[in-house]
Amino acid sequence: MTRIAVIDYDMGNLHSACKGLENAGATTHVTDVAADLEKADAVVLPGVGAFDPAMQHLRSRDLIDPIKHIITSGKPFLGICLGLQVLFDASEEGKEPGLGVVSGTIKHFRHEPGITIPHMGWNQLELTQPDADLWQGINSGDWVYFVHSYYAAPTDPSVTAAAITHGSQTVTAAIARDNLMAVQFHPEKSSTVGLKILANFVQLVKNRQLAVSL
């Protein structure tokens, strides 16, 4: 059995993410308890909303240090949307410090003629780490669904696993580093491409389970 803990910190609807993971053969457990994260085979941090409330909710549940520990332990970890942004040092959206597990800042899209902010709707991925585990069966040019006004700007550009272009700006759409993965888009709302990405995450968790058992 592959057990995935999905962190509940009052920042978004968790049902669709859980359903996508379950369709790929995982058992999900929605929780805000640190001990549950330790017992799980992998952890997913989804999120919709604003940066400061997200960090405040994580802090109020005493989840900041446990999340950092999970990531440094090597356990597979997937952030989604706001769950990507809080991994960084800080955000132009607010004043709270982020988790700081990825160096960089969350920035606001520049206003320019002909683009809408928030960036809402379908956009095409440009895979910058095409061999990353999340992208098995995924190609540059595949469409995924976004809703965001802010984007991640990593200090180290090599952590970017995929990018998108909005207006004249090409920005990070996903990151990958060792066991840590995160996407700005919503795979649970991205039709067959998004479900394949979630299935890829479940498969890499299963592969890790198998490797550990040998």
- Any catalytic annotation for residue 81? yes
Length of the chain counted residue by residue: 214
Computed over its alpha carbons, how large is the radius of gyration of the chain? Answer: 16
Instruction: Annotate 91-100 with b (16+ C-beta within 10 A) or e (fewer).
Output: bebbebebbe
- Any catalytic annotation for residue 188? yes
Amino acid identity of residue 23, one-letter, is N
φ and ψ of 5, to 5 deg:
-85, 130
Task: Determine which one of 57, 119, 148, 188 is catalytic.
Answer: 188
What is the distance between the alpha carbons of residues 76 and 4, in angstroms, rounded to a whole number?
Answer: 9
Task: Determine which one of 18, 81, 119, 148 is catalytic.
Answer: 81
Residues sharing a CB contact under 8 Å with residue 15, sequence separation 6 or more, in sequence order? none
- Any catalytic annotation for residue 18? no
Active site residues: 81, 186, 188
